[in-house]
Structures are given as C-alpha cells and as structure tokens.
Structure 1
Amino acid sequence: MIGHYDWAGGREAMLRFGTATDPVVVAALPLFEEANRTRTFVVTLLRALAERGIASALPDLPGQGESLVPTEAATIADMRAAFAAVPGDYTLAIRSGALLDAGDRKSRWHLAPQQGAELLRELNRLRQTSGSEDFGGNRLSDILLAELEAAATSHARTVRHETDVKAADLKVPGAPLWRRAEPDNDTALAELLADDIAAWVRACEG
C-alpha cells in the first residue's frame, strides 16, 4: 500500500506491507545508485516478511526516491530525522542505509552495513573516473560529504554474504545485488533473509 509520513521538514511517500496489528520493520535502502539496484529486492523481502506476520514500511527519504527535496540539498542529518519519524518497532537497513538508522527502535538488523568513510571513498573514485564534478551522476553538497566522513553505523544484528570477510552474526550465499550493473532481484535470498528477520523479531518480542 502506498502511504506517507510526516517529519519536521515536510511529507514524504512510503510503501506499507502487512497488517496494522503486526510488529513493524522500517527499511532503509542504500544511498544513491545502490538504492536503484536493490529496491526491487527489498520490496520482495518486505512482501516475504508480510507472509510471515511481520509488517514493514519503506519510506522515501529527503533527496531520495520520489522526494521533492533535490539530491544536492539533502543531508544525512535530514535523512536520519525523517527515518526516525517513521513509526515502527525495528529497523532493516541495507549497506549505507545503516548510516540513516535513527529513531527509538527496539532493535536493528543490517545487511552488509557500510561506514560513511567507505562510501565517501567509493564516491570519490566514481568522480575521478568520470572526470566530472558529479559523484556517480549525483550532485552532492559539501555538508553531506562532510557528514559522510564521520558517519558510522549503530549496533545491530549483522548479516553479510559468505564472500565478505568482515565479521557477522550470519553469513548467507549469493552475490551482492548492489555490485551488479543493473537492478536485479534474488528471491531465494529474500526468502532466506525473511526467515532470519522473522525469527529475530519474534525473539525480540519475547
């Protein structure tokens, strides 16, 4: 279902899945181009969660998706404030979406969380490769770039692919969708992660 939420800076759209009586997971897509590559997968994952009795919300944040805020006017602080304003019990964040994970949630679940400094290095490489002032086709403010340099993820249940050498609570098979040239999906991985998230939510609910 398409809905909306309000935050101090205005009103943004969001997708809702599941019923009003289920625990609610609020999802954060990665920033910039990785959001386009993973959005279909995240929607598949949230639909799988609804089948397991877990509701969810996928909000557009300022400067992303269908937001009326221009990308060059977006800041990490505003994205975090908007994310915190979305009603929900838990967080599900993918990659740099973990940097936006704010709000009074019971617990957090992150897939391959990316630190701000890591993302900033990737953006600078993109700009150098393209030879333009844009960062992978995005015009970003100096404020946002400075925020990224210091941005870090919060404590969460962490899941990574088996090919990722970093520590995790769970390692899963498959290839990272955010590394592919075009948007794609992985329904088998979505089902596997939905099982893990559903079990995690039920454990948190006691």
Structure 2
Amino acid sequence: MAMNFKIFENEQVVAEYAADILRKQFNNNPTTIAGVHLSSENAPVLDELKKNVDKHAVDFSQINILDYDNNKSYFEALGVPSGQIYNVSFGEDTESFINDKIKTKENKGKLITQVLSIDTNGKLNVSVNQGLFSSREVILVITGSDKKEVVHKLYEENGKTSFEPSDLKAHRMVNVILDEAAAEGLPEDVRHYFTARFA
C-alpha cells in the first residue's frame, strides 16, 4: 500500500514524465494491458507519448488498451492493432472484461497499468473498486491550480468517506504525478520533500 507523490515544475514536464513511464512500460512488457482515461486532464500526456514513441520505437503488436476516452484513432496511429483497443466505461469490471475479451497465454490477463486523472470535483471517472484495484499500478496525473483542493483531500482523507479517490490509499501502488500548481494542495513540508526528492 503506497501512494507516491512526484512533483514537477509544470504540466508540460508532468506530461513528458508520464509519457516516458508509459512508453517504458510498453517496451519492458510487450504484452501490457493498460487503461487510459485522461479526458479531464490538461497535461498533454498523449501528445508526449506519441513524440516519445516516434523517437523510441515500440512493438505494440501484443499491447491491449482499455480506452475510456474514445481515442481509438490515436492508439491506432500509435501502432496498437485495432482489435486490441477496447472502449470501456466508468463502472466496467475490468477483471471480468479482460478475462472475457483479452486474456491470452502471453499476457495472463493481468491489468498492468491504469493511467487517469481527476476532475475539479474530485471524480475519477473510473470506478476504484471495479476498474482500479485490479491494476498492478495506478498512475494519477493531476495538474493545475484548480485541482489543489482535490489534491488536499486526496492527501488528507483516509478512505471510507464520500471522497472516493481517497480509497486509492488501499491500493498497492499509486503514483500521483503533479505540477507545482496542483501540489499547492499539499502541506508545505510534504510539497518540499517530494519536489526535492523527485524533481
């Protein structure tokens, strides 16, 4: 159970960092199943991922994408085969979906990564219980000063409240990637620690 905060200067650097993590994940595990839901995020993660992949080729032939944002044409342009891009919704039970539609001997039917953001009202738009707990790793991208209150709640609350994102604290591995504006919602000493350590 770990929620790791990484703070970077601005949303562009956040996007570059998140894209680099994703591209390396695809390279290191060529049978990755990944969920992507970034429609409520300003950081241009997908733009940066395309640039990153253009510089460092990735074999997408066995990659499967859970596409929460209807970005099929983007993932096709990236190189993911059309039949391996799945439109899924908020409450989709990802374990059942993967077992039914994606599981192969090679990928063992395991959701490796969920990359998502949070809106200014604190909504994840992917169900924590149905869509996130089955993932090996969750990457939560949060940028902008309009999300600092959400970041504050995420840091302070300890689950089992009406603020569903705090339930993520029970997940085994959550990386929260922030820009300085969103990180204003963290206590100053915490902000300093994660900026000094990770930036």
TM range (shorter): 0.3 to 0.5
Of structures 1 and 2, the one with the larger relative CO (CA 8 A, separation 6+) is 2
What TM-score, normalized to structure 1? 0.34
